[in-house]
Amino acid sequence: MPDGATSNSKRVEPRDRVVIRFAGDSGDGMQVTGTQFTTESALAGNDLATLPDFPAEIRAPAGTLAGVSAFQLNFASDEVFTPGDDLDVLVAMNPAALKVNVGDLKPGGILIVDREGFNEQNLKKAEYDRNPLGDGSLDRYQLFQADVAKLTSAALKDLGLSARAVFRCRNFFCLGMTSWLYHRPIGPSESWLSDKFKKTPELVEANIRALRAGYNFAENSELFAVSYEIRPATIAPGKYRNITGNTATALGFVAAAQKAGRPIFLGSYPITPASDILHELSGLKQFNVYTFQAEDEIAGIGAALGAAFGGAIAITTTSGPGMNLKAETMGLALAVELPLIITDIQRAGPSTGMPTKTEQADLLMAMYGRHGEAPVPILAAATPADCFAMAFEAVRIAVRYMTPVILLTDGYLANGAEPWLIPDPASLPDIPVQLRTDPNGFFPYLRDQVTLSRPWVVPGTPGLEHRIGGLEKEYLTGNVSYAPMNHEQMIRVRARKIAGIVREIPPTQVLGPETGDLLVLGWGSTFGAITQAVRELGAAGHRVAQAHLRYLNPLPPDLGSILRRYRTVLVPEMNLGQLVRLIRAEYLVDAVGFNKIQGRPFKVSEIVSRCLRLLDGTTLEESVTEEHP
C-alpha cells in the first residue's frame, strides 16, 4: 500500500521548493485535488501558500477556455510567502487548461497531461489548430502523457459505476501520481474521501482506488524516472492548522466576541468572495454566533447595527458592490456611535467586474466613501492567517471606541491558505466591555476622557431610556440639535476620537536596514510578494527595506519618520495608486506607485525588477501592465 515511501528502483532528488498548479475544467474537481494535495503537504511538514483560481460561472461550457479552473500551491522546506510566480509543475486535464496555464510553466518544468483529454473536440474548444502534444510546441518542458481516463476506468472496472462517475474520479488518479512524485502521504486524502462520501461507499471505494492507481502507476510505469523529496520546513513548534483568510476572519470574530463576553450578530447578503465567512459563522452557532442572511446588503448592515444597539458584537461582511450599498448605514453607525465591523473582501471592480478575482481598489472608498465628515477606522489583513488577528483587532477597536470599523481583506487572502500556528487563547488581548447600567450622571453622549467614546447602553436597562438617531446631536445629551457651533464640535470630536486610535497601533515593523535607498511600503495581500522580493534584494546586497501597513486609518504614528529614512518609497498596489495617494497627502513624501490591476496578485519577480529599476535611478510611475501589454 502506498504510504509515502518510494521504491528504491527510482532516483530521488531533493528540492527546496515546488510550485505546482492543477488545472482542468470547472467540473474536473481541480479545487478538491489542489486542496487535498495541500493537506498532504501540510502533513508532510512543508510550509505552503495556495492560490485557488476559478471562473465566476458555476459551470462554464465544458472544455472551453472560459471554464478552466486552477489551484496553485507553493510548498517548501523553508518559509513560504506567496503561492509562487512560475510553475515547476503543471497538471493539465485538457487542452483548454494547457492553453490557459502553460505560459506560467518554467522552461524545463514538469507538464503532466491526460492524453485522452486532447481529442479533436476538446482541441477545437480550446482553439488549437493542431494537437500541441505532437507538434513540438511543448519541447521545452518535461512532458508526461498518461492515459488518465483509461487507467482510471481500468482501476474501477468491476465497481459497476456509470461512465460519468468513473470519469469524475480522474482527478484522484492525478492526485495519486503527483503525490508519488513529491513523496506526499496519501493517507489524509483517503480519510477525507471516506468522510466526504460516507453515504455513498461506492464513491469512497472508487476514488480511493483511483488515488492508489495513480500512485502505483507513477511508481511502476516507465513514465517517471525521478521523484522529489522536499524536507519539512523548520517552523516554530506548536499546533498548526491550514487556514484560509475567510475562515481566519470568521474565527477572529468569534474569538474576539468570546473575549468580549458578547454574542456575535452577523448580518450579511451572499456575495463572492465574502460568502464563506457567512457560511463559516453559520456553522459556529454553538459559540453564541447568530447569523442572519438578510434580503440585501442594506438590511445586512442595518440588522447588524440594530444588534449593536442590542449589545451584540455586530458584523457585516460583503464585497465591493455591497460596500456601496452599506455606505449610508455606516454613516448612521458613526453618528449614533455604536460598534460595528464592516468587512470588505475586495474583488476586481468596478461594478460586477471580475467577481472571483482579487484587487485592492476599495481603499479610498473605505476612507472617503460616505457623505459628510465621516471618518471610520480602517484595518487591513496582510496574509490569510493575519485575517484572524485583524478581525480580532477590528472587534477590539470597535468596542473600545464605539465606532464602525472597516476591515479590508481581498479575494486572494479570502481563498488563499497557509499553515497557521493556533494561538494560545490566553495570549489574546482581553476585550473589556462595560455596558452602562448606572443612571447616575448618565448622558447618552457622555464621553470617556481617554477614548472619547460614549457609553454603550442596551435597551432594557432601567432608568437609561434614551433616543439615538441620525440627526445631529447635542454634545452631551444627544438630543437633536441644529446649533451651528454644536455641529462643528460634534464633527471635530468624532474626528478626534478616530484619530485617537493611533494609541492602539503597535510600532511599525521595518524588515531590512533601518535606513537605505528604498522602502517598499505595502498594505493588504501584497505582503507575501513584497516580503519575498525584499529578501531577495537584500540577499543580493541592496539596501532595501519593507514596511507593511495593517492600520490604514489612522495611519501608524511612526510612519512619517520611517518614510523619511529612505531615499525612495515604492508602494506596490493592486489598484491605480490609492495608498500612495494617502501617503503623499499625509506626509508630503514623494512616494512612487507601482500598480497591477489584473485580478491577480503581484509576482515576486515583478516587484524585484521594479525595485531594481528604481535603484538604478528611474523614478517614473510604472505599472505591470505597461511592461506586459
Which of positions 450-479 make contact with other proteins (CB under 8 A)? Answer: 458-471, 479
The region that residue 183 occupies, defined by phi over 0 for left and psi between -120 and 50 for alpha, beta otherwise, is left
Residues β-bridged to residue 553: 378
Cβ proximity to other proteins: between 287 and 587 the closer is 287
Binding status of residue 311 toward other proteins by CB under 8 A: yes
Cβ proximity to other proteins: between 332 and 559 the closer is 332
The pairing of strands 516-523 and 566-573 is parallel
Position among 2, 29, 132, 377 found at the interface with other proteins (CB under 8 A): 29
Residues 267-296 interacting with other proteins (rule: CB under 8 A): 267, 270, 272-273, 275-276, 278-280, 282-296
Give the strand order in the sheet containing 566-573. Answer: 510-511, 544-549, 516-523, 566-573, 592-595, 622-623
Q: Where are the beta strands (DSSP E) in 269-416?
A: 289-293, 313-318, 340-346, 378-380, 404-410
**Closest to 394 (Cα-Cα) out of 560, 264, 285:** 264
Binding status of residue 309 toward other proteins by CB under 8 A: yes
Gap between the Cα atoms of 542 and 536, Å rounded: 9
Binding status of residue 318 toward other proteins by CB under 8 A: no
Binding status of residue 247 toward other proteins by CB under 8 A: yes
Binding status of residue 30 toward other proteins by CB under 8 A: yes
Binding status of residue 419 toward other proteins by CB under 8 A: yes
User: Of the ranges 249-257, 523-531, 585-593, 619-627, which one interacts with other proteins (CB under 8 A)?
Assistant: 249-257
Provide the terminal-to-terminal Cα distance of the chain, rounded to the nearest Å.
Answer: 50
Compute how many residues bind other proteins; rule: CB under 8 A.
126
**Closest to 389 (Cα-Cα) out of 358, 422, 347:** 422
Binding status of residue 327 toward other proteins by CB under 8 A: no
Binding status of residue 263 toward other proteins by CB under 8 A: yes
Position among 243, 342, 367, 569 found at the interface with other proteins (CB under 8 A): 243
Cβ proximity to other proteins: between 131 and 479 the closer is 479
Binding status of residue 500 toward other proteins by CB under 8 A: no
C-beta atoms surrounding 145 within 10 Å: 16
Residues β-bridged to residue 138: none
Helix (H, G, I), strand (E, B) or coil at 551: strand
Position among 18, 42, 218, 402 found at the interface with other proteins (CB under 8 A): 42
Minimum CB distance to other proteins, residue 462 (Å): 4
Task: Annotate each residue in 195-214 with x if it binds other proteins (CB under 8 A) or - if it does not, as one string.
Answer: xx-x----------------
What Rg do the C-alpha atoms of the chain give, in angstroms? 27
Residues 509-528 interacting with other proteins (rule: CB under 8 A): none
Is the peptide bond prior to 263 cis by the omega test (within 30 degrees of 0)? Answer: no
Residues β-bridged to residue 46: none
Binding status of residue 417 toward other proteins by CB under 8 A: yes
Binding status of residue 306 toward other proteins by CB under 8 A: yes
User: Of the ranges 81-89, 141-149, 222-230, 255-263, which one interacts with other proteins (CB under 8 A)?
Assistant: 255-263
Minimum CB distance to other proteins, residue 262 (Å): 7
Binding status of residue 428 toward other proteins by CB under 8 A: yes
Gap between the Cα atoms of 196 and 192, Å rounded: 6
Cβ partners under 8 Å of residue 201, min gap 6: none
Q: Which uninterrupted H or E stretch holds 27? A: none
Binding status of residue 312 toward other proteins by CB under 8 A: yes
Q: CA of 127: how far to CAs of 65, 80, 90, 102, in Å?
A: 8, 36, 20, 15
Residues 349-408 interacting with other proteins (rule: CB under 8 A): 356
Cβ proximity to other proteins: between 116 and 474 the closer is 474
Residues 223-242 interacting with other proteins (rule: CB under 8 A): 232, 234-242
Give the strand order in the sheet containing 551-553. Answer: 289-293, 264-268, 313-318, 340-346, 404-410, 378-380, 551-553
Minimum CB distance to other proteins, residue 470 (Å): 6
Cβ proximity to other proteins: between 307 and 555 the closer is 307
Is the peptide bond prior to 55 cis by the omega test (within 30 degrees of 0)? Answer: no
| 195-216 per-residue burial string, b: 16 or more CB within 10 A, e: under 16 | eebeeeeebbbbbbbbbbbbbb
Position among 72, 94, 178, 258 found at the interface with other proteins (CB under 8 A): 258
Is the peptide bond prior to 554 cis by the omega test (within 30 degrees of 0)? Answer: yes
Cβ atoms 72, 33 nearer than 8 A: no
Cβ proximity to other proteins: between 279 and 565 the closer is 279
Position among 61, 103, 201, 261 found at the interface with other proteins (CB under 8 A): 261
Residues 74-93 interacting with other proteins (rule: CB under 8 A): none
Position among 74, 216, 415, 575 found at the interface with other proteins (CB under 8 A): 415
User: Of the ranges 28-36, 109-117, 217-225, 598-606, which one interacts with other proteins (CB under 8 A)?
Assistant: 28-36
Cβ proximity to other proteins: between 43 and 495 the closer is 43
